[in-house]
Amino acid sequence: MTGTTAPARAGGPDPSVPAPPGGGPLRRGGVALITNGAATGLLGLAYWVVAARLYGQTAVGQNASLVSAMLTVSGLAQLNYTRSLSSLIPRARQSAVRLVGRVYVLVGVVSLVAGAVLAAVLPGLSSRFGFLHPPGLVIPGFALAVVLWSIFTLEDTVLASTRRASVVPIENIAFGAAKLLLLYLLARVGFGDLNIFASWVLPLVLIVVPINLFAFRRALPQMARLPAEVVEVPGRWVRQDFAGYMLWLAGTSPLPFLVLAVLGPKPSASFYIPLTVATAIDVVSLNVGNAITAEVSRNKGQVDRHAARFVAAFWLLVLVGSVVLVFVAPTLLQIFGHRYRSGSGVVLRMLLGVSAARSAMFLNNALARAAGRGGRILIVQAIASLFTLSIGLATMTHLGVKGMALGWLVGSVLAGLVAARWVIPAVVPHLRRTTGRKPAHARRPAPEPRGPVSVLSRRRGPAGGQPSEK
């Protein structure tokens, strides 16, 4: 599955198409996605603050675990197209509309079936899910929620890959504000035990339809006219990327669900709140990575100086931001109430402390995806997921939620170190060439010709033609 490629020219991109100064498309798209991450992170923080204030800790833990289950099933049903589309769309060119349409249909069907199956079996797996009733309403409602979330997630990749990343913050801010408003209204009405989950899902109906009309009618058709230099890569990278994605998903989305199953709803709530804050940074790195993949794919999978500067600047931004958040973690959790401050402060610091390492992991995946090197993605994701789950499940019964946070910390650090082994050689050499200075041997003047040649050279012009007027 390699997509359609434009014919590659040995001389690089078409010189008739001026290159945007400062890597314009990547810079603009990256700034839009960083803005989106900051805005949605603040709205998400406000959402769970309001939920913690309006509902008891048990209700928050139950609904947070149900949201986590929805995200996990949706992630599985997306079949890694949330990541791979950022490389496949630039390669598809004129057939991008048909490609995305087929992906939507496939992911929608898988999401519907998987969501219905999980909603039907969850109450039988554990008495902790007895709040999922009545089945006649919960099963179809949960299945449709998974479908909506899958399409909602995919459309961000489509927009970022077609240089329409500026729409992503508008879409996500509207979603964040709508679910926050609905959360408050449902609490006042007394909708039921699933108020939080319902407020999370219902706004998707109003967002998904108009955004995808825009994507299919304007963004994708116009993308086909963008200048691009793409090359064929072996199709196995898609399979390796998919396997890595499955491992990443197993080591992230089901963690609150596992905490609920082992420790109960209150510890699950104490873990889910810090995890939501920490993964907000992950989401920014993942979305920015989609833009990086799309632009580097258009450059034959090669990192140029604009991409290198952007990657380095973004990683430093994540590093500084995560250090600041580590210091203010207890204050940050205080707004959720005293029930979340005592034990969750250490957990939040453990999760945030490795944000830079996780960002290196996601940047490696973005560059590897553009170059068709799926093996690198698989290795990094396997390290992160296996260490997170093995250490977390082994220590959770003794350390509580801190055990799961410990697994996250160790797995992220090891995966980040391995990722740096590939990211640094791809980025740093281009940073050294951004000063515009030539090497010493290139700046050294040519030696003065001697003998008869010197007389001839002084009589001729600079180009070796007519004599110079000087």
Residue-wise pLDDT tens digits, 281-318: 888 888 888 888 888 887 777 888 888 999 999 999 99
Q: Where are the alpha helices (DSSP H) in 328-400?
A: 329-334, 338-352, 355-371, 374-399
Q: Domain spans of the chain? A: 24-435
Q: What is the mean pLDDT of residues 422-428?
A: 92
User: Largest Cα–Cα distance in the chain?
Assistant: 101
Q: Where are the alpha helices (DSSP H) in 126-203?
A: 135-161, 167-189, 195-201
Specify the pLDDT at position 351.
93
Specify the pLDDT at position 228.
52
Phi, psi values for residue 399, rounded to 5°: -100, -5
d(CA 453, CA 178): 80
Q: Confidence band (pLDDT; 50, 70, 90) for 352?
A: very high
CB 362, CB 291: distance < 8 Å: no
Side chain identity at 51, as an amino acid letter? A
d(CA 278, CA 104): 29
Residues 6+ apart with CB under 8 A from 408: 255, 350, 351, 354, 388, 392
In this structure, the dihedral spanned by the alpha carbons of residues 87, 92, 93 and 98, taken in order and rounded to 10 degrees, is: -120
Task: Answer with the residue of higher pLDDT: 272 or 311.
Answer: 311
Name the DSSP letter for residue 449. Answer: P
Integer angstrom CA distances of residue 329 from 309, 408, 427: 30, 17, 32
Strand partners, 288: none
Q: What is the mean pLDDT of residues 380-384?
A: 95
CB 369, CB 377: distance < 8 Å: yes
d(CA 228, CA 374): 22
Both tokens of 251, joined, read 């080591």
Specify the pLDDT at position 413.
96
Specify the pLDDT at position 38.
83
Specify the pLDDT at position 245.
87
CB 292, CB 366: distance < 8 Å: yes
Name the DSSP letter for residue 438. Answer: P
Task: Answer with the residue of higher pLDDT: 103 or 12.
Answer: 103
d(CA 197, CA 175): 14
